[in-house]
Chains A and B, each alone.
Chain A
Amino acid sequence: MTTATASRAARFGAYVPALLLLGVFFAGPLLWSVYSAFTNVALTGSSSIDFVGLANFRTMFHDRQFWNSLWLTLLFVVGSAVIGQNTLGLLIALLLKGRGKLARALVSGLVIAAWTVPETVAGFCWYSFLHTDGTLNAILHRVGFSQNWLYTTPMLAVILANVWRGTAFSMLVYQAALNDVPPELHEAASVDGASAWQRLRRVTLPLIRRSIVTNLMLITLQTLAAFGLIYVMTKGGPGTKSSTTPIYMYQESFQFYKLGYGTAMALVLLVIGAIFSLIYVRLIKVDDL
């Protein structure tokens, strides 16, 4: 054995523990879930596992409730993450730039406080804020406008709650990104007579677009998989009016025992997440930066 191969072997050897751990705890479950998407594996109620090919996906294709859930998931992701958290986070970061220390600390503190609250606690806060005997109705009572908002506007309710909870993350990402924008560029643009909007559009946004892509990707993937918040607030109801794909997946896998069908849906969600990421990368053209 030459010294070179020995050192290469040693270097590889150093990876082995990490690779083993990754293999057991990361690749293993992943492969298992891909495999079970093509089987009829059940949580209980059946002792055999049969390979069923694409049957789960065919069922999904004809499953009206699945398409409904997918549509609601899209609405939830676009409404609460892409539009809500992303825009609001950027807006707050822009408004806070160059403000006094106290204002920055106060606003960031409040926004981040919402983020640090555990998901289920946030869900219960919003539940008690919006339902019939909730705080909102106590205020609206005078105008005779009170109703159970979780019943009349379930999607809006969960979207608002998710914006409230998740904005801090986007705000932090954008605050960091904006700190890296050199002030000279803004000064130069102002000297050239660019308006505030033009400076934002032509200078700031192009410079932070890497952060925009990263942020969009992260919050999209997080929101696609959001479960706890919706489950606590509406359990997917009334009826199936807020039953996004993760909620529907939970119902099928753990309440109806159809693990195979549930994992097949998870696989579809994974593909949708990948498509979203591709769209972001394309739209914002990170490569030619």
Chain B
Amino acid sequence: MRNRIVLAALSALTVVAATAGCGSSSGDAKSKTVTIAYQKFGAFIQLDQQLKDVKAEYEKAHPGYTVNLQPIEAAENDYYTKLSLMNRSPKSAPDVMYEDTFLVNTDIQAGFLAPIDDYLKNWPDWSQFTDAAKNAAKAQDGKTYGVPMGTDTRALWYNPALFKKAGIPVPWQPTNWNDILTAARTIKQKVPGVTPLNVYSGKGAGEGATMQGFEMLLYGTKNTLYDDASKKWVVSSPGFNDSLNFIKTIFDEKLAPKPQDALDPNWATTVSTQLLPQNKLAIDLDGSWINQTWVSTGQKPWPEWSKVLATAAMPTQNGEAPGKISMSGGWVLSVGSHAKDKKAAFDLVTTMLNRENTLKYDIGASQIAERNDVANDPRYLNSNPTLKFFTDLVQVTKFRPAYPVYPQISDAVQVAMESVMTGQAQPDAAAKTFADQARTAAGGDDKVMTAQ
């Protein structure tokens, strides 16, 4: 009997001790530790590898401090979720985090990130960053919440051999939407068996449809999705309808792939691993990163890619200045709002993102440099034949209005595209449905506007 009581008491004690142990890690030791949370997934191991070196570099320069690396092994969406969950409790919130510009504004409103303007003032390297980059992590409150690591841009990839077959002179540089349509029509007529033009569209491609597809069109008109001055969502505009009409044209005239193929969730993989390498796609509106698929360590090694494919900037609708358009995403390093020693955390950011480390990272992870000193470095420019082209697009690039409701607006855009490409709705009707959905998502009439 006595034994049993002792046993029970002991097991109870063990549990209590174990649970208590979970919470007691925040002692004195922690104030001298800087934690950094980042993604490590699939082929994306460059950041993890480099941070191991940066850890040593930092600890050497900051005696008494330890860098605690916290790689999160998850795909993009799950990485966001995991990071948000970590940030929800001060105990698990990292001091520094690898943050998608897409989520910066949302996470600021959740109170996860700390402004770093005071530290940036005293960091001479900050002047090397492009204006677009400086705005990438600037919030609605005008403060800056992250230092950009590198970005991506978007443009037209095309196949000169197929163009020659169709009798279109190369190098090709369309100056308006109509030039693209004309080229696609000629290819359809002269080179059977080839898909003339791929523009990601519909819910299957997800955010790729909104950003690589729709926004590359819309931001080349005189309209946008969000009005920065009035801080309202533009739910109805001529540019919106024109963009939908472009989608309708390419699908109606069968210049684009069949809707049932284009709506497949794995369509982007099919494009980069099959259609482009097999010369079955003439023009592809796509990201600067797709050649990552074709390097020797990529999903589909294709050493000849730089000889087979060429690039052209996406023109504005009617050639309006500056004549070309691009959209950018990219990632930043941010300091967490729960970081005890924000200066130490910021120092880790600047160690990782000094000139040499940024150069190494941008080359390794196929990023478009956002620091002028890196962008002009021959080591960077010679690392990849299309890099200069995509880096120059940074001058005209735009960022998404990535506020908390953006994912819902983006979803509504995909729904509108899908109903147009499948012929379920005319562009005007689809635009009207979009306006209704976007108004609900944005939170009412005072959050949205109509543009001319």
Note all chain A residues with C-beta closer than 8 A to B411.
Answer: 251, 255-256
Contact B204 A237 (CB under 8 A): yes
Contact A16 B11 (CB under 8 A): yes
Of A147-155, A168-176, A179-187, A188-196, the stretch lying at the interface with chain B is A147-155
Contact A132 B260 (CB under 8 A): yes
Contact A47 B109 (CB under 8 A): yes
Note all chain B residues with C-beta closer than 8 A to A44.
Answer: 80, 84, 87, 103, 106-107, 109-110, 112, 404
Contact A10 B106 (CB under 8 A): no
Contact B404 A46 (CB under 8 A): yes
Contact A131 B264 (CB under 8 A): yes
Contact A255 B5 (CB under 8 A): no
Known A14-B8, A147-B260, A239-B203: A45·B265 in contact at CB below 8 Å: no
Tally the A-B contacts, defined by beta carbons under 8 Å. Answer: 110
Contact flags (1/0) for B1-30 with A, using CB distance below 8 Å? 100110111011011100100000000000
Of A17-25, A85-93, A99-107, A273-281, the stretch lying at the interface with chain B is A17-25
**A163 at the B interface (CB under 8 A):** no
**B303 at the A interface (CB under 8 A):** no
Chain A residue nearest in CB terms to B263: A238
Contact B202 A238 (CB under 8 A): yes
**B261 at the A interface (CB under 8 A):** yes
Note all chain B residues with C-beta closer than 8 A to A237.
Answer: 202-204, 263, 265
Quick one: which of B110, B265, B408 contacts A42, CB cutoff 8 A?
A: B110
**Distance from B88 Cβ to chain A, minimum over Cβ atoms (Å):** 8
Contact flags (1/0) for B257-281 with A, using CB distance below 8 Å? 0011101111000000000000000
Known A10-B1, A237-B203, A256-B407: A47·B415 in contact at CB below 8 Å: no
8 Å CB contacts to A: which residues of B235-265?
259-261, 263-265
Quick one: which of B19, B111, B260, B419 contacts A24, CB cutoff 8 A?
A: B19
Chain B residue nearest in CB terms to A16: B12
Note all chain B residues with C-beta closer than 8 A to A13.
Answer: 4-5, 8-9, 12
Known A16-B8, A43-B81: A239·B418 in contact at CB below 8 Å: yes
**A235 at the B interface (CB under 8 A):** yes
Query: How many chain-B residues does the 8 Å CB contact rule pick out?
Result: 44
8 Å CB contacts to A: which residues of B403-444?
404, 407-408, 411, 415, 418-419, 422
**B230 at the A interface (CB under 8 A):** no
Note all chain B residues with C-beta closer than 8 A to A238.
Answer: 202-204, 260, 263, 418, 422
Contact B15 A17 (CB under 8 A): yes
Quick one: which of B1, B261, B419 contacts A148, CB cutoff 8 A?
A: B261
**B297 at the A interface (CB under 8 A):** no
**A254 at the B interface (CB under 8 A):** yes
CA–CA, A113 to B233, complex, Å? 52
Contact flags (1/0) for B347-368 with A, using CB distance below 8 Å? 0000000000000000000000
Contact B260 A151 (CB under 8 A): yes
Known A17-B15, A44-B103: A254·B260 in contact at CB below 8 Å: no
Note all chain B residues with C-beta closer than 8 A to A46.
Answer: 109-110, 404
**Distance from A5 Cβ to chain B, minimum over Cβ atoms (Å):** 12
Note all chain B residues with C-beta closer than 8 A to A21.
Answer: 15
**A257 at the B interface (CB under 8 A):** yes
Note all chain A residues with C-beta closer than 8 A to B419.
Answer: 239
Chain B residue nearest in CB terms to A252: B408
CA–CA, A102 to B302, complex, Å? 49
Contact A151 B264 (CB under 8 A): yes
**A6 at the B interface (CB under 8 A):** yes
CA–CA, A284 to B110, complex, Å? 51
**A7 at the B interface (CB under 8 A):** yes
Quick one: which of A10, A45, A147, A256 contacts B109, CB cutoff 8 A?
A: A45
CA–CA, A254 to B109, complex, Å? 16
Contact flags (1/0) for A1-38 with B, using CB distance below 8 Å? 00100110110011011001100100000000000000
Note all chain B residues with C-beta closer than 8 A to A239.
Answer: 203, 415, 418-419
**A234 at the B interface (CB under 8 A):** yes
CA–CA, A6 to B9, complex, Å? 13
Contact A257 B261 (CB under 8 A): no
Quick one: which of A9, A20, A150 contacts B264, CB cutoff 8 A?
A: A150
Known A7-B1, A235-B204, A255-B77: A45·B110 in contact at CB below 8 Å: yes
Quick one: which of B110, B408, B415 contacts A256, CB cutoff 8 A?
A: B408
Note all chain B residues with C-beta closer than 8 A to A9.
Answer: 5
**Distance from A17 Cβ to chain B, minimum over Cβ atoms (Å):** 4
Note all chain A residues with C-beta closer than 8 A to B264.
Answer: 131-132, 148, 150-151
B16, B107, B261, B404: residue with the most chain A Cβ atoms closer than 10 Å:
B404
8 example contacts (A-B, Cβ-Cβ < 8 A) are as follows: A16-B15, A44-B107, A45-B107, A238-B260, A239-B415, A239-B418, A239-B419, A256-B408
Q: Which residues of A contact B (CB under 8 A)?
A: 3, 6-7, 9-10, 13-14, 16-17, 20-21, 24, 42-47, 127, 131-132, 147-148, 150-152, 234-239, 251, 254-257
- Closest A-B pairs by Cβ, 8 of them: A45-B404, A13-B8, A47-B111, A151-B260, A148-B260, A45-B106, A44-B110, A44-B84
**Given A16-B12, A148-B260, A150-B264, 13 additional A-B pairs, CB 8 A:** A13-B4, A13-B9, A13-B12, A16-B8, A16-B15, A17-B14, A43-B85, A44-B110, A44-B404, A45-B107, A132-B264, A148-B261, A237-B263
